Amino acid sequence: MKEHRSKVSSIVLSNDNRRAVSVSSDGSCIVWDLVNLKRLGCMFEKTMFKQVVFNREEFQVLTTGSARNISYWDVEGSECIRMIEGAQEGDINTLAITKTGNHMISGGDDKVLKIWNYDEGKLNYTGLGHSSGINRCIISPSQLKILSVGKDGSIFVWKMPENVLL
């Protein structure tokens, strides 16, 4: 199953283990059928993709990358359905979605951790503290903490805002 023409930067597996989505630095995002080992769809953007995640219901995927956007893609139709500006400068390197699916968290070369409302695409919170770009962020299983790691080796632990937990 080789379809990307350059380095694959992220891959995510569906909860039922039947599909996967991969993105690469050539701006391609591919949805895979893991049962029949074939490509189901392909999306393209003028960016170097950094990360891909499924939404809670897995009918959409979100991508981040060098174009500074968070893009929402319809998995079935392979179309971009929404694009929000995620940073004014630098790549967006990481994205995570809360268990409820109501919020997403991004981080990138602008050194700012951001919490967004998923449906509205509205920025709700910003976290400042990193002195270098953010490489990765994850949400703890309890949803009470956010962890982020910087390009300089730093590790930050953030408290999830209470209204994000609702």
Task: Give the 3-state secondary structure of residue 156.
Answer: strand
Angle at 103 between CA 99 and CA 106, to 5 degrees: 105
In degrees to the nearest 10, what's the CA dihedral of 101, 10, 42, 74? Answer: 10
Q: Is 107 exposed, middle or buried (0-12, 13-18, 19+ CB in 10 A)?
A: buried
Cα gap 13→62, rounded to integer Å: 13
Cβ contact 98:88 at 8 Å: no
Q: What is the pLDDT along the chain (166 residues), one digit of tens a residue?
A: 568 899 999 999 999 999 999 999 999 999 999 999 999 999 999 999 999 999 999 999 999 999 999 999 999 999 999 999 999 999 999 999 999 999 999 999 999 999 999 999 999 999 999 999 999 999 999 999 999 999 999 999 999 999 888 7
- CA–CA distance, 59 with 159 (Å, rounded to integer): 29
Rounded (10°) CA dihedral 69, 72, 75, 76: -120
- How far, in Å, CA of 87 to CA of 109, rounded? 9
* Phi, psi values for residue 164, rounded to 5°: -75, -30
**Position 153: which residue type?**
G
Q: How many CB atoms lie within 10 A of CB 154?
A: 14
Which CATH code fits 8-165? 2.130.10.10
pLDDT of amino acid 165: 82
> What pLDDT is recorded for position 73?
97
Question: pLDDT at position 1, please?
Answer: 58
CB 44 within 8 A of CB 27: yes
Give the start-to-end residue ranges of the domains of the chain: 8-165
Q: What is the pLDDT of residue 166?
A: 72
Whole-angstrom distance, CA of residue 70 vs CA of residue 46 = 13
